[in-house]
Amino acid sequence: MSKPYKKKRRRRKQRHSVSRILIPVICLIVVLSGAVGGVWYYKEYGGDPVRTYETATYNSNLYQGSLFADDLCVAANDVALTGFDDEDSLHAAGLFNLNDKTVEYGYKLYDKLYPASTTKLMTAYLAFKYGNMDDIVTVSDSVSSFASDEVVCNLQPGDTVTLYDLLCGLLLRSGNDCGVAIAEHISGSVEAFAELMNSEAKALGATGSHFVNPHGLHNENHYTTAYDLYLIFNACIQDQRFMDIISMDSYTMNLTGADGTTRTFDVVPTNYYSSGKINAPEGIRVFGGKTGTTDEAGCCVILYSEDLEKNPYISIIMGAEDKSFLYQEMNRLLEAGETTKTE
């Protein structure tokens, strides 16, 4: 019995001896292989393998953390602009150079403010994204809920109208009834549409906003920021249909009543540049934009414009005390931006 036992012990010692030799050799091979591979990878990917791998591998539509702001104007704080320093009388203001991707002027860009009818930019963005312009929309009884002093396009319950006509009424005249008709057509209800507004706003980076309706009539839980409005407006202008509408000086809506009779409703832009009530500074062409006015929000406007060299800008003013002051300050802002560019 003792001999087999001794043989087993000798075999174990032999295996242990082999292991003591092989394990370090294997580890050395692994380390050397990793080092050689690392040198090859470093050379192959131009000396910055991590950045190169991220750029080549990550889908920018899914992984937007590092690439999201590449085409946006970004500023962490207020930005001064020579020639425009009267901001204390406004709630917020901004001037964005779309070619240079710079914020030329920024004042309280991230303060939460009531947006009034500039809300309708988000409504329009979703209509273009999820609707078809030739959709026939049937108007519900909800359009009868607006007060006499609230802007409407005289939609009646049972009317049928194209989504395109509703967008013209929404963006030009700022019809609140058009906003409700669009919301119900896209999402089935105003409440469901508001949820869609909030999720899509966050997807655009507009994380300082919360919407509860498609028109912007005052609600304490309905707010945005000047910078968020820039993000939403910037998304809208990527669609040529949006640009075509805000560039109009008038439009005639075609409506069909529940009884089959047809009628028209003429709409003109609420912003004074498009309606011809005020001229832009020399050398600047204002294509159009969106206004908003309530007691709580003050007078607001956001515009798309170009200079003589066709450099595009987005400009915004929120919280002016009246419309006369609103456009006076907007002209000053546009002039200051043009002057700074040419100096």
Residue 79 confidence (pLDDT) above 90: yes
Residue 334 confidence (pLDDT) above 70: yes
Structure tokens at 235: 């998304």
Q: Are 301 and 120 in contact (CB under 8 A)?
A: no
What is the average per-residue pLDDT within 108-115?
Answer: 97
Q: What is the CA radius of gyration of the chain?
A: 30
What's the rounded Cα separation, in Å, for the pair 231 and 229?
5
| CB contact set of 206 (below 8 Å; sequence gap of 6+) | 224, 225, 228, 229, 231, 232
What's the rounded Cα separation, in Å, for the pair 108 and 125?
24
Q: Which residues are annotated as a binding site for substrate?
A: 290
| CB contact set of 136 (below 8 Å; sequence gap of 6+) | 160, 161, 162
| CB contact set of 268 (below 8 Å; sequence gap of 6+) | 172, 173, 249, 250, 274, 275
Query: How far, rounded to the nearest angstrom, does the alpha carbon of residue 215 sit from its chain's CA centroid?
Result: 17
> Domain 68-342 adopts which CATH fold?
Beta-lactamase (3.40.710)
pLDDT for residue 71: 87
Residue type, position 96, single letter: F
Structure tokens at 44: 């192959």
Report CA-CA distances (Å) from 6 to 9, 10, 11, 242. Answer: 5, 6, 9, 92
Residue 19 confidence (pLDDT) above 60: no
Question: Domain-by-domain residue ranges, the chain?
Answer: 2-57, 68-342
**Helical ranges in 45-133 per DSSP H:** 49-57, 120-130
Tens digits of residue pLDDT in 151-171: 999 999 999 999 999 999 999
Structure tokens at 97: 């150079």
Which residue in 108, 104, 107, 101 sits closest to 73, CA to CA? 101
What's the rounded Cα separation, in Å, for the pair 247 and 286?
9
Tens digits of residue pLDDT in 309-327: 999 999 999 999 999 999 9
Residue 180 vs residue 10, higher pLDDT: 180
What's the rounded Cα separation, in Å, for the pair 94 and 147?
32
Burial of 8: CB neighbours in 10 Å, binned 0-12, 13-18, 19+: exposed
pLDDT for residue 27: 58
What's the rounded Cα separation, in Å, for the pair 158 and 140?
6
Q: Which residues are tagged catalytic?
A: 117, 120, 174
Tens digits of residue pLDDT in 218-235: 999 999 999 999 999 999
